[in-house]
Structure 1
Amino acid sequence: MTGGDAVRDPSFDRPVFILSSPRSGSTLLFETLSQAPGVFTIGGESHQMIEQVAGLAPRDRGFDSNVLEAQDASPGRVDALRRHFRAALRDRDGLAPPAGPVRMLEKTPKNALRIRFLSEVFPEARFIFLYRDPRSTLASMIDAWRSGRFVTYPRLPGWPPTLPAWSLLLVPGWRELASRPLQEIVRTQWQVTLERILDDLGALPAGRWTAIDHARFLADPGAEVKRVCAALELDWDRELGPRLPLSRYTLTRPDPDKWKKHAGLIEPLLPGLEPTVARARQVLAAGGAGQARPPET
């Protein structure tokens, strides 16, 4: 749909989806980019908007996972989702979009498992891959599970009631985690999600996505936002200070060493994550598009 003679999407002009594992800072990036002029959002995450459509909720799919594939985008589901999203969109001033195609920004961690599906629903979709150091991310995921504030499936069939209620996104193979300690559950959530993002983005044409490092974003938010907006052809008209406000889902104030309180749980996991980390860092070093395939050996 990007060629000169291609038919353009009449409702969604290159909608942008932020992709990351849970607890990677996606809310902060979303809240910042939502201040771009001409950008419209639904105001939050799209869990219910997607899962209310018949056949798309885990309960309709044997509670397999949050994965949705291209073949799940039947005409009826595509039409329903597009209508739901369009009706909920508002800009930074709270105004509904005018007639015609609009730039939409969306972020829901579950959607990291739905890239192929989203590409069918929104043929002009663009993506931002947000990466955060796994030590900080895993520590924050552990805290999220323990807090009870991020429960997604409180009565997940087959999940032992003696364990904390299932939190964050539902990854393939979750049933095999029922006997594992919490740090291994979040490790699997993180690694499965990152590998899925990298695989699916690597299959997209060049120019459909860009990448951003969470630490670099915090260190120089103004420059990083301008870079991402330029890559996605979004306007930007605001100056950002050296420190951004806390996002709405912050549990405790950010600290680069905060993960160390869980160091005894996390450090043994790191060697097994090295291949995924190497892939992600290769993408960041290359600046994004076309670099998500596994590194050469």
Structure 2
Amino acid sequence: MNPQQMLQMASHATAHLSDEQLAACFKHIHIIVSAPRSGSTLLFEQLCKQQDIWSIGFETHVIFNLFPHLRFNNTNQESGALDQSHADAKTIRLIRSAMLFLLQNHRGQRYLDPAVDAPAQPLMVEKTPRNALNIQFLRQLFPQARFIYMHRQPQPAIASLIEAWQVGLQTGRFVTYPNLPGWHLPAWCFLLPSGWQDLIGHELAEIACFQWIRSNQTIQQDLAKLPADSHCDISYEALRQSPEQAILALLQFIQPGLNHQPEVDMVLSRSTLTPPDPNKWRRHEHAINTLRSQWQDVLKGYQKTD
């Protein structure tokens, strides 16, 4: 089925639910926010293995891309960041319907399947890198949403972004804006923060550093405005070093009392380009450390949450 058919089927499948009933299904949604290439795919895949967790099974950009007005924040294409003004009643209803229609558990059983014994208010996990810029918009969609802030040390994260950009420009993978007006490269990869025009003509290391900085800054600033109990944080390094402990802690955040042994299988995530190596980033060491004055303050910002 094509995306528009899916949206029509989702609307039909949820037509019996009032707006209030549909909203109530998302009372326990938990949204992962992170800079690109910071381990959010690995985290999402691990959480989706857990028996109490529901998700749509993939990133929600598949849904968001169905709405032309959600492509950019305005007609000048200044960024991909969205706020409350982008969440009109029709958009809210359609996105909620699509997510509920696609919602599945760790066995792949669909939430709306009458044969499935599904809770009225499922524990949901959602992830897409663009979420980093869209916390205000997401809070309008899901007023009771809670957030999981995934962060990673800057050098390996920025190095991974550089290499993913290289792959994206060669193959089309990771491309999000293929025809960005005035952009000097064949395409733009990953999320689009405001101020991207200042990077026209710059090297990939500077572009990757800019994305990492703006993503983390936006997350930190937006989460600081929310109640302390509405968000938690986890580092990529902690997930790698002690995966069971990290997942168990997140399950307790998602629902206190979830005390079953987590299902953890730290295989490579589907977005991995090459196997993990703590020294892999050193191929870009000089370029990244040259930019240290730009990224070190952001690093201090999320060290405060550890």
Identity of aligned residues (%): 35
- Unaligned regions of 5+ residues in structure 1, if any? 1-6, 285-297
Specify the alignment match of 2:178 in structure 1. Answer: 154
Q: Is the 8 A contact 2:50 2:263 kept in 1?
A: no
Specify the alignment match of 1:112 in structure 2. Answer: 132
* Alpha-carbon distance, 1:99 to partner: 6.7
* Alpha-carbon distance, 1:236 to partner: 5.7
Query: Secondary structure of the equivalent of 2:305?
Result: helix
Cα distance in structure 2, aligned partners of 1:266 and 1:128: 27
* Alpha-carbon distance, 1:275 to partner: 1.2
Q: Is the 8 A contact 1:151 1:166 kept in 2?
A: yes
Whichever residue aligns with residue 216 of structure 2, its letter is L
* Structure 2 CA distance for partners of 1:99 and 1:53, relative to 1, 3 Å: farther
* Structure 2 CA distance for partners of 1:179 and 1:165, relative to 1, 3 Å: same
Q: Is the 8 A contact 2:70 2:82 kept in 1?
A: yes
Question: 1:155-203, CA deviations, whole angstroms, 9 ceiling, x for partnerless residues?
Answer: 222212xx24211111111112112111111111110110000000000
2:270 to 236, 242, 248: 248
Cα distance in structure 2, aligned partners of 1:41 and 1:247: 16
1:83 to 97, 113, 123: 97
Q: Is the 8 A contact 1:152 1:167 kept in 2?
A: yes
* Structure 2 CA distance for partners of 1:59 and 1:10, relative to 1, 3 Å: closer
* Alpha-carbon distance, 1:13 to partner: 2.6
Asked whether 1:140 is paired with 2:160, we answer: yes
Moved over 6 A (4+): none
Specify the alignment match of 2:61 in structure 1. Answer: 47
Q: Is the 8 A contact 2:248 2:261 kept in 1?
A: no
Between 95-104 and 15-24, report the one with greater CA deviation: 95-104
Matches within 5 A, 1:10-25: 10-25=24-39
Query: Secondary structure of the equivalent of 2:304?
Result: helix
Asked whether 1:281 is paired with 2:303, we answer: yes
Query: Secondary structure of the equivalent of 1:212?
Result: strand
Cα distance in structure 2, aligned partners of 1:240 and 1:260: 33
Q: Is the 8 A contact 2:73 2:80 kept in 1?
A: no
Cα distance in structure 1, aligned partners of 2:196 and 2:302: 23
Cα distance in structure 1, aligned partners of 2:282 and 2:197: 29
Matches within 5 A, 1:120-131: 120-131=140-151
Query: Secondary structure of the equivalent of 1:273?
Result: helix
Asked whether 1:168 is paired with 2:182, we answer: no
Q: Is the 8 A contact 2:130 2:191 kept in 1?
A: yes
Cα distance in structure 2, aligned partners of 1:237 and 1:32: 15
Question: 1:198-253, CA deviations, whole angstroms, 9 ceiling, x for partnerless residues?
Answer: 00000001210100011011000011111111122163634556x71110111000
Whichever residue aligns with residue 47 of structure 2, its letter is L
Cα distance in structure 1, aligned partners of 2:210 and 2:87: 27
Between 251-260 and 93-102, report the one with greater CA deviation: 93-102
Cα distance in structure 2, aligned partners of 1:106 and 1:168: 17
Specify the alignment match of 1:237 in structure 2. Answer: 260
Between 265-274 and 91-100, report the one with greater CA deviation: 91-100
Aligned residues: 275
* Alpha-carbon distance, 1:54 to partner: 4.3
Question: 1:73-131, CA deviations, whole angstroms, 9 ceiling, x for partnerless residues?
Answer: 11111111111111111111011113732222111010110001101110110100011
* Structure 2 CA distance for partners of 1:33 and 1:236, relative to 1, 3 Å: farther
Cα distance in structure 1, aligned partners of 2:142 and 2:259: 23
- Report the TM-score, using the length of structure 2 for normalisation: 0.85
Cα distance in structure 2, aligned partners of 1:120 and 1:79: 11
Cα distance in structure 2, aligned partners of 1:221 and 1:240: 10
- Unaligned regions of 5+ residues in structure 2, if any? 1-19, 112-117
Cα distance in structure 1, aligned partners of 2:287 and 2:260: 43
Specify the alignment match of 1:65 in structure 2. Answer: 79
Query: Secondary structure of the equivalent of 1:184?
Result: helix
